[in-house]
């Protein structure tokens, strides 16, 4: 999506994570560890999960593109089936 996003309601590390999620391009995935490193705190992997879980715009700000380091899906606010479907649709494009 190419829309302006207002992250003022998010604070601190959560905001930092949310601002980096749009860098994950359509059809790509990043690990929670990769997002943590991009946000400047490479050891804050669990905090990335928390930031994704509280994402107010879960499709526009693509937290569904964040997966575990072993490639498994991990959690998603819309459920594992929705995350899998979104990633499958994007991979096919």
- The domain spans of the chain are 12-92
**Active-site annotation holder among 63, 66, 67, 87:** 63
Q: Please tell me which residue, 33 or 10, carries the higher pLDDT value.
A: 33
Q: How far is it, in rounded angstroms, from Cα 70 to Cα 89?
A: 21
- What is the pLDDT confidence band of residue 7, given thresholds at 50, 70 and 90? confident
Q: In Å, how far from its chain's centre is CA 47?
A: 12
What CATH number has the domain spanning 12-92?
1.10.10.10
16-28: pLDDT as tens digits? 999 999 999 999 9
Q: Average pLDDT, stretch 29-41? A: 98
- Concerning whether 52 is annotated as a catalytic residue, the answer is no
Burial letters for 25-34: b for 16+ Cβ neighbours within 10 Å, e otherwise? eeeebbbbbb
């Amino acid at each position: 999506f190419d829309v302006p996003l207002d992250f003022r309601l998010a604070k601190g590390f959560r905001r930092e994570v949310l601002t980096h999620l749009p860098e994950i391009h359509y059809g790509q995935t990043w690990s929670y560890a990769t997002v943590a490193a991009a946000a400047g705190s490479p050891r804050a992997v669990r905090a990335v999960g928390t930031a994704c879980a509280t994402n107010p715009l879960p499709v526009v700000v693509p937290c569904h593109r964040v997966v575990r380091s072993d490639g498994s899906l991990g959690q998603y606010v819309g459920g594992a089936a929705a995350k899998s479907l979104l990633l499958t649709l994007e991979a096919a494009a």
